[in-house]
Amino acid sequence: MNFKNYMEDVVMEVYQEFIERNPQYCSCDRCRADAMVIALKQLRGLYAVSQEGEIFTRVSRDDRQIRTDAMVMIVEAAKRVAQQPNH
C-alpha cells in the first residue's frame, strides 16, 4: 500500500460518511466524483505527496488526523460542487 492509494481510500471512505450524514448534498456519480477529485487534490497538497506515493510510513500513525483533514476538505469540496453542479 502506498500513500497515494491510501489517500484515495481515505477520501472515499470519509466522503461516504459525510454524504450519509448530510443528505442535503447531491450524491449522484458526477457530484461524488467532482467532490472527491477536489478534496483529494487539496489533501495531497496539504501533505505534499509525491507522485510515487512515498512518505506513507512517516504519516501512517496519524491516520486520525488525515481523516479529520479529509473531512474538512470534503465539506469544502461538496459546498463548491453544490454551488456549480455538473450533473
Chain positions contacting Zn ion, by CB under 5 A: 26, 28, 31, 87
Query: Which lies closer to Zn ion via its Cβ, residue 31 or residue 43?
Result: 31
Q: What is the DSSP string of the chain?
A: --HHHHHHHHHHHHHHHHHHH-TTS--SHHHHHHHHHHHHHHHHHHHT--TT---HHHHGGGHHHHHHHHHHHHHHHHHHHHHS---
Query: Which lies closer to Zn ion via its Cβ, residue 26 or residue 55?
Result: 26
Least separation, in Å, of the C-beta of 33 and Zn ion? 10
Query: Which lies closer to Zn ion via its Cβ, residue 30 or residue 58?
Result: 30
Least separation, in Å, of the C-beta of 11 and Zn ion? 17
Least separation, in Å, of the C-beta of 22 and Zn ion? 13
